[in-house]
Every structure is written in structure tokens, then in C-alpha cells.
A and B are shown apart, each in its own frame.
Chain A
Amino acid sequence: MERDVFTFIVGGKAGEGVKKSGSVAASILADLGRNIFQMDDYQSLIRGGHNFSVVSSSTGPITSHHLRAQLIVNLDERSYHLHRQEVAEDGILVYNSDVMSEAEGIGLPMTSEAKKFPRPDLRVGVASITVLAAALGLDMDYVEEVIAREYKRDLENNVAYASRIFELARPKIGGRFPLERGNATGKAIYGAEAIALGALAGGLDLYMAYPMTPSSPILHFLAAQGRPFGVHALHLESEVSVANMAVGASFAGARVAVGSSGGGFALMAEAFSLAGMMEAPVLFILASRSSPSTGVPTYTEQADLKFAISVGHGDFPRVVACPGTVEEAFYLTADLLGLAWRFQSPVILLTEKHLGESAMNVSLDPFRATWAEPVLHSDVGGGPLSTPSLGALEPAQEDGYRRYRFTDSGVSPLLFPPSSQVIKWNSYEHDEYGITTDQPEPTARMHEKRYRKRQAIIEHLRGTKTVNVYGEGGPVIFSYGSSTMSVLEALRTGGIQATVVQPTYLEPFPVWELERYRGSNPIVVEQSVAGQFSALIREQAGVSSDRFIRRYDGRPFEPSELAQQIKEMM
């Protein structure tokens, strides 16, 4: 069966409400019961420049935007020139005839009509979604409904403006795309929202961050939506503060997460080690952008993989995992918050701009999210657990709470203040009570205790899903993170049969699931010039390859192009 992908692109200057138009277009296509995928492309500036939003939709599954569009609405001249090549064979190119002279396509006087109302710059976005509704054969009553839902501010003027655009557009494009309805369910959400909601479902209490693209949407979402959940999002003075505060909050018993991108996460590295030493449960969210350094701040890349796996000084266990889809981002965030608390370790949710700032409709079941629970001292009791204590303790304290009690799993039961027992968390090497030591034997034993947790984590992960495998037969394709969505869409677009292997966990690396792919010479798809992911699967799981597809221009893979590249390698 032919896939019925319909793509809408809206392009314009920053400040013209392009992203909002994309979201509204997505909601219009979702009203038709279609599955949608929206990607926002924007530059690091406030006004001017070039922004665009792509919304692709299908009655079947869809996991990527397509750049070949049936309908393109350009609010300014630059967008027109940048997007005109992307119009599909049967597609329509619409331009703002007030900002450029006669051109190929359909010109509409978007600005001069907007000037009849206050704040015309902000209004042109309404034109784009009105054009979409007209082209889909929807009526003005429906457009009014959408405006009432999505553009509540200045509703009357927006409706009046839309009516005018609708009248002008209908004779030219009305009903050109009678799309098949679908039966998709679920709300369209961004990856960043899925992460935030996953953290909420998993028991989050506090979120801390310093603004940095592309992690900021998580902060913004939790700041705006967290309060009814009893969750507070704090914008603090620096990432250094964020990470040190997070460890402090976990000491007092709060489920805490922090978020940043490369440069900010680099500042958290010192406190990441602190969390390792103190055995503090903290969820770190690392939303990668195009790096190194300031890089291309509003674009995407997957080059923080090795950084995430090895961040921090010294040896200590941590968990790093990277969601492949918006849906997985929700559950994985809750899982990781749970792992942080179960194993009292710093944990990293690694993701990218492309996942965080892309939206799709997903069906989520919050009741299936993992809930972060500590192993509590009161559950275990004060008796000896397994290994005898260090000795050299005051007799009165022999039976007291030991924060860093030696156990087989390496996990010591937690206790939170206020408590009659003394609870000591220490950044220095310490004994079982948490008192500083520099003696060789206790130092070695405490190292071993902490490191035993890595094996305990591996044993736990062995019983859970750590690798997603999509499809069967054909070539083996390895990918991870948001590239997985691109690969899956490329396979659908190109009609390619393949087996897609996506490790969700990257540290500890699920070699037990991946060893079977040794000798498969997989095609490895990732967004990194150095091929960090292909190196990881080779080094850790012995899966070598000489077939690589890499992109590192800051843009996510485009499914048609990627399908072509995959076919060339088969």
C-alpha cells in the first residue's frame, strides 16, 4: 500500500510565530486522526533570520519529518528561496506577496491584510494555518474553532484576519488535499515534554537548571506545569550550582533532576563525581546540540556520547541511557530516576535537540512508569547486612546508622534527616559512617563497595529491555537516540526491509544483548563525525563494521536521503 505522507512547511523570520504555526498545523492534522511528526528548525537569535517548522503526517506510523512538502507557506522572501526546491511534484508553494514581487506559486497579501489590525508581524502566522485548513478542504467554522483553541489572545482580530485570508486562498487552493482520516490516538508532545512528564510520573520533586538550548524546554515546561504536581523548577545561578544543589536536595530525600547541554554539563562534571562519591541519586539530563564548545547552538548532533559515558574524575558507577523515540523518552526518564534511587548513583539521560524539540503524537500510560523508591534503613533495620564493619569505631556507635554500610550489592540503605541517627554524606573518601579517611584499607574497601554497584546494575538491567530491535531480515542497522526515528522512517519511505538495533542503555553497555550481532557488519547510522557510537559498539560488544552513515551538519537525517544512502550500502 502506498503511504499517504502529507507534509506542511511554514517558514519565516524569528518573531513571526513560526513554531506556533507548526504546532497549530500539527493539531489540525491530528484532528484528522493522523499521526504527526513536527520538527522545528530555528537559529540562535530573537528576531529576523530564518525559522521553519515541518509537520509531516500519515494515517500509519510516522517517526520523522519529511522535507519534500505538499504545502509550503513562506511568510518572508528568504523562506521562499530556501524552501522552493522542497515542494513536492503535486505540491503548492504559497508566498507572502507583500514582501516579494511576482514569483512562482500562489501569492497572498499576508502582511497588507495583517496591517489592518494591530501588531501585524505577530499575525502572519495565523495566515499560514488558515491556508493549510483551506487546502485540506476544511471550512471557516473549523478555522474559527482552531483559532479559539490556539490563538486565544486577541481572538476577534485573529478570526477577522483569518476570514480574509481564507476568502483569498480558497479559490486558489481550496480542498486541494483531501486527506484520508486516520485513527491515531494520543496527544502530540515534544520530546522535552515527554522527558518532563516521565520525570513527573516517576516521582520527581525538584528540577534545577540554568537556561541552555536545547535543554531549556524541559525547564520551561516544568516551571509552567509543575506546580499542580507539587514539583518546582528552579532556574539557578549556574550549572555548577545546579549540580551541587541537586546532590544537596537528594541528601534531604528529594527526587531531583537537572538538565543542561554540553557546555553546561561540562560545568556539572565536578559535582557529577561528587554524586558518585556521596552515592547521591541524581538524574542528569544531557540534551546534546551541535558541538564542540558553543557549537551550532540550536541544531542537533550526537557527539556527547563519550563525554556522557566518561564524565567525572575517578572510578565510580553510573548509568547512561538514550531514548530512541518520544514515547521511549517518557518511560526511560522514569526508569532512570528509579535507577538513580535504587542504586544511589548519578544517572544520565542522554538525548539530542532533535528528540527534545520534535513533537509527535504518542499514547502514554503513566501508570506504567517506574516510581523512584529508595532502599530505606527502616526497611532493612540496623543489624549487620553482610560484611563486617571496619572496626575502630566507638562502641556506642557500633549499632548506629551507617550511611556507607558495606553490602553485597554495594547499595547501603538510606535514611533522611531529621533523624535521631547521624547521617553523614562525605565528598572525601570515608568509612562506613561517612567520616573522612585516607587509610589504604578503608579506601580500597569503599572503592570496592561503590564499584560493586556496577555489577548490581548490570544484573538488574539484564532483566529489563535495554536494546530495541525493530524489523527482521535484511541488513542489520545500528543506531541510537533520535537517529533511530529517522532510520525507521527511512525504511518505511524507501520500502526497505532491515533489522534495526537500538541500544537504549549505553553504560553499562548491554553487551549480553549485542554479542549476537558480531560479524553482521552492520550499517551504523549516527550524527557524529568521529563515529563515537560505532567505536562504542566495536570496543564494548565486538561488533565491527565498515559501513557508516554519518551526518554532522547540525541537521537531522531526512528520510528520503537516508533511505537512498542505506540502499547504496546494501
Chain B
Amino acid sequence: MEDLGTYAENTWCPGCGNFAILNAFKAAIGRLEEQGIGRDRIVLVAGIGQHGKIFDYMNVSGFYGLHGRSMASAQAIKLANPDLKVVDFVGDGDALGEGLEHTIFAAKRNADITMILHDNGVYALTTGQYTPTSARGYRGPSTPTGTVEDPIHPLPLMLEAGASFIARGYSGELEHLTDLMVQAVLHEGFSFVDVLQPCVTFNNTWREYNQLVEITDRTATTPEEARAIFSRTDRLPIGVLYRRDDVPFHRRLYEDFNPVRDKEPREARQRRVAQFLGVPEEPEREYKGPRERP
């Protein structure tokens, strides 16, 4: 496989959980290519945060969007050209804080994109503040005596919002994570992968996760079953935890239409506007060049 890296200098801390996500995605692209999905069709989208640097480190086309807003941009890339496979790498502060509305709406619409959440419970790029998934009592520079808020649990949130594919992976299980990414990209509809990802500098959870994480092949097909899996606190099951088949957003809007590929040429479009306006059209009419205004 051709190298998927770039000349960008990697500035993640040694031991960072992001490396596993980067390497898993590189491996996932190889496996997707084996299944006929070329890397030319894959668009990597990212928000702002340490996670977002994956944009610079991957030699695939992409869109490095705004903090919290990449979920909106990712949906539109798919809407503009449904032939593309859109994978949006987001952070927990990014997608569950500033960008929560877009995350919920992407799931609500069953937008056919993959959201990979780098879930480390900390704003690393801005030096260690608590995030929406940080545990109550988390101490950071903005909460020196510990946050008094309870965390958001992304899995049940995405389930209630309408996600049709919900998985949890772990940076300590590279092969498993690769497999989850492949399945998520292949899933038609909104696929969400919550990646437990330790931040060695501000929130080192390697030891805790190594004790709690447990691979499962049990996939819920009803919300009730899924809720039972998500509510476990004694163990952290990883795998595809819930999935259902449903028509994705772009198909609900326009079935097999592709706005970019199926666009009518200029003359056909302008003829249509002329018809709408009741403007008499000359059949052999040609473009007359820029008009002069009065």
C-alpha cells in the first residue's frame, strides 16, 4: 500500500491515543480499497483540536473545518456529491460542546457520513480544560476545584438522536478499531464511532481503560437492547453496539440524484428559467455575452 502520510511534522505527544486512530484509519483505507472504495472517493473532514491534526497527517483529500462545525460541512459534502465517502474526525469538546447541534442533527437526519469521536475527556490543544465528557470533579485550568457538571454520554445521546450505527472503539485495540472504521464507512446512514482515547498529558486513562474495555460482538438491533449495553459501567464493551437499516438523508431528499454529477448544462437551465418566466425562447438562441445595463 502506498504511503498515506504527508510531510507534515507530527506534533502529538508520544503515547497519545490519536496515533492509534491515525494508524487504524490508514489501515481502514487499505481495506476499503480492497472492497472497491478507492481513496479518491474518501473525504477526510476534521474539526479543530488535537484530533484535527489528522487532516495534515493523512495524504487524502479533506476539509479542515471549524471547531464544532465540521459535522455541518461534512453533511454538505455528502449532499453535494453522494458518490463520496465522508469521514469526519471530531473531538469531544468540538462535537459535543460547540458543535452539539450539528452532531445531533446529523444523527437525526441519518446523514450518510461517518463520525469518529476522539473521546479523551479533555481539551488538549487549549491545555487541559474539562470537556462535555469529562467526569464530574475533573480538575483543569478552568475548573481548579473540579467541575461540578456531570458528563454527557455520547452513545445514548446518539441513539436518541437517531444514529443508525453506533460503535465504540479503543485506541488500545488497533485491529479492532480498524474493523470498526471499515464497517462504519460501509454503513449507509449515520455511523458513529466513539473512540476511547487517552490523553497522556492531561487525562491519562490508559490504565483505567485497559481494565474496563471488553471486546463484544453483540450488536443491538433495538433501542432497548442498546440502552442496556450503553448503561453498563462495570465494563466498557467495544464493538458495533447498535445498528439498524434506514434510508439516509440524501436519498430521502433526492434518491439517486447527484447535484454535482447530474447538473444540467447552462443552456438547459436557462431555457427552464425562460419557460418559468414565460419568456419567448428562440430555439437556436446563443449566449450573447454579458449584457449592458441601462
Write the residues of chain A forming the contact surface with B, with a CB cutoff of 8 angstroms. 186-187, 189, 197, 200-201, 203, 205-206, 208, 225, 228-230, 232, 234, 236-238, 240-241, 244-254, 256, 270-271, 274, 328, 331, 363-371, 392-394, 397, 416-420, 422-428, 434-436, 464-465, 468, 470
Which residues of B, 79-94, contact A by the 8 Å Cβ criterion? 79-81, 83-84
Decide: A254 near B69, CB < 8 A? Known: A366-B270, A424-B55: no
- Pick the residue among B45, B59, B101, B260 that contacts A241 (CB under 8 A): B101
Which stretch, B138-146, B193-201, B239-247, B286-294, touches the partner chain A?
B286-294
A313 CB to nearest B CB, Å: 12
Let me know if B277 and A240 touch, CB within 8 A.
Answer: no
Using Cβ atoms and an 8 Å threshold, which residues of chain A touch B270? 201, 366-367, 369, 371
Interface string of B210-228 (1 = CB under 8 A from A): 0000000000000000000
Number of interface residues of B (CB under 8 A): 64
A244 CA to B71 CA, complexed, in Å: 9
B49 CB to nearest A CB, Å: 12
Using Cβ atoms and an 8 Å threshold, which residues of chain B touch A187? 277-278
Which stretch, B13-21, B28-36, B261-269, touches the partner chain A?
B261-269
Using Cβ atoms and an 8 Å threshold, which residues of chain A touch B43? 251-252, 417
Let me know if B277 and A417 touch, CB within 8 A.
Answer: no
Let me know if B80 and A425 touch, CB within 8 A.
Answer: no
A187 CA to B291 CA, complexed, in Å: 20
Interface CB pairs A-B, < 8 A, 24: A200-B269, A200-B272, A203-B263, A203-B266, A203-B269, A206-B79, A229-B264, A230-B257, A230-B264, A241-B69, A241-B101, A241-B105, A244-B73, A248-B75, A252-B80, A270-B66, A270-B69, A274-B66, A366-B279, A368-B290, A370-B290, A416-B81, A424-B55, A424-B61
Decide: A424 near B64, CB < 8 A? Known: A232-B254, A241-B105, A252-B80: yes
- Residue B187 at the chain A interface, CB threshold 8 Å: no
For B75, B105, B293, the residue with the greatest tally of chain A CB atoms inside 10 Å of its CB is B293
For A206, A232, A328, A365, the residue with the greatest tally of chain B CB atoms inside 10 Å of its CB is A365
Using Cβ atoms and an 8 Å threshold, which residues of chain A touch B232? none
Let me know if B8 and A435 touch, CB within 8 A.
Answer: yes
- Residue B41 at the chain A interface, CB threshold 8 Å: yes
- Pick the residue among B61, B80, B264 that contacts A419 (CB under 8 A): B61
At the interface, is chain A mostly helix, strand, loop or mixed? mixed
Decide: A427 near B276, CB < 8 A? Known: A368-B288, A418-B41: no
Write the residues of chain B forming the contact surface with A, with a CB cutoff of 8 angstroms. 6-8, 38, 40-41, 43, 45, 48, 53, 55-56, 59-66, 69-70, 72-77, 79-81, 83-84, 101-102, 105, 253-254, 257, 259-260, 262-264, 266, 269-274, 276-279, 281, 285, 287-288, 290-294
Let me know if B263 and A230 touch, CB within 8 A.
Answer: yes
Decide: A197 near B105, CB < 8 A? Known: A187-B278, A251-B73: no
Let me know if A367 and B83 touch, CB within 8 A.
Answer: no
Q: Closest A-chain residue to B104, C-beta based?
A: A237
Using Cβ atoms and an 8 Å threshold, which residues of chain B touch A252? 43, 76-77, 80-81, 84, 260
Let me know if A249 and B77 touch, CB within 8 A.
Answer: yes
Q: Closest B-chain residue to A201, C-beta based?
A: B273
A244 CA to B75 CA, complexed, in Å: 10
A210 CA to B84 CA, complexed, in Å: 26
Using Cβ atoms and an 8 Å threshold, which residues of chain A touch B73? 244-245, 247-248, 251
- Pick the residue among A237, A365, A397, A468 that contacts B279 (CB under 8 A): A365
- Pick the residue among A244, A465, A470 that contacts B69 (CB under 8 A): A244
Let me know if B80 and A436 touch, CB within 8 A.
Answer: no
Let me know if B40 and A420 touch, CB within 8 A.
Answer: yes
A368 CB to nearest B CB, Å: 4
Decide: A253 near B48, CB < 8 A? Known: A205-B263, A392-B7: no
A426 CA to B73 CA, complexed, in Å: 12
B274 CB to nearest A CB, Å: 5
Using Cβ atoms and an 8 Å threshold, which residues of chain A touch B80? 205-206, 248-254, 256
A376 CB to nearest B CB, Å: 13
Using Cβ atoms and an 8 Å threshold, which residues of chain B touch A248? 45, 63, 65, 72-77, 80
Q: Identify 6 new A-B residue pairs, CB closer than 8 A, beyond the known A205-B80, A208-B76, A229-B273.
A: A187-B278, A234-B79, A331-B293, A367-B274, A394-B6, A417-B41
Let me know if B79 and A249 touch, CB within 8 A.
Answer: yes
Let me know if A245 and B277 touch, CB within 8 A.
Answer: no
Using Cβ atoms and an 8 Å threshold, which residues of chain B touch A424? 55, 61-62, 64
A197 CA to B41 CA, complexed, in Å: 33
- Pick the residue among A418, A422, A436 that contacts B84 (CB under 8 A): A418
A468 CA to B69 CA, complexed, in Å: 40
Let me know if B105 and A237 touch, CB within 8 A.
Answer: yes
Let me know if A241 and B84 touch, CB within 8 A.
Answer: no
Let me know if A436 and B76 touch, CB within 8 A.
Answer: no
Q: Closest B-chain residue to A394, C-beta based?
A: B7
Let me know if B292 and A465 touch, CB within 8 A.
Answer: yes
Let me know if A197 and B61 touch, CB within 8 A.
Answer: no
Q: Closest A-chain residue to B6, C-beta based?
A: A435
Let me know if A245 and B272 touch, CB within 8 A.
Answer: no
Let me know if B59 and A228 touch, CB within 8 A.
Answer: no
Using Cβ atoms and an 8 Å threshold, which residues of chain A touch B84? 252, 417-418
A285 CA to B61 CA, complexed, in Å: 29
Let me know if B59 and A422 touch, CB within 8 A.
Answer: yes
Let me know if A427 and B65 touch, CB within 8 A.
Answer: yes
- Pick the residue among B65, B77, B269, B293 that contacts A274 (CB under 8 A): B65
Using Cβ atoms and an 8 Å threshold, which residues of chain B touch A274? 65-66, 69
Using Cβ atoms and an 8 Å threshold, which residues of chain B touch A470? 294
Q: Closest A-chain residue to B273, C-beta based?
A: A366
Using Cβ atoms and an 8 Å threshold, which residues of chain B touch A370? 290
Let me know if B63 and A425 touch, CB within 8 A.
Answer: yes
Q: Closest B-chain residue to A229, C-beta based?
A: B272
A468 CA to B293 CA, complexed, in Å: 8
Q: Closest A-chain residue to B98, C-beta based?
A: A240
Using Cβ atoms and an 8 Å threshold, which residues of chain B touch A249? 76-77, 79-80
Let me know if B64 and A426 touch, CB within 8 A.
Answer: yes
Using Cβ atoms and an 8 Å threshold, which residues of chain B touch A225? 276
A47 CA to B260 CA, complexed, in Å: 42
A435 CA to B8 CA, complexed, in Å: 7
B35 CB to nearest A CB, Å: 16
List 10 A-B pairs, minimum CB-CB distance, nearest first: A248-B73, A248-B76, A252-B80, A245-B76, A254-B80, A366-B273, A244-B72, A244-B69, A368-B291, A249-B76
A205 CA to B269 CA, complexed, in Å: 11
Using Cβ atoms and an 8 Å threshold, which residues of chain B touch A417? 40-41, 43, 61, 81, 84
Q: Closest A-chain residue to B65, C-beta based?
A: A427
Using Cβ atoms and an 8 Å threshold, which residues of chain B touch A244? 65-66, 69-70, 72-73, 76, 102
A234 CA to B109 CA, complexed, in Å: 12
A545 CB to nearest B CB, Å: 25
Decide: A240 near B7, CB < 8 A? Known: A187-B277, A371-B266: no
Using Cβ atoms and an 8 Å threshold, which residues of chain A touch B266? 203, 371
Using Cβ atoms and an 8 Å threshold, which residues of chain A touch B254? 232
A465 CA to B294 CA, complexed, in Å: 9
B97 CB to nearest A CB, Å: 13
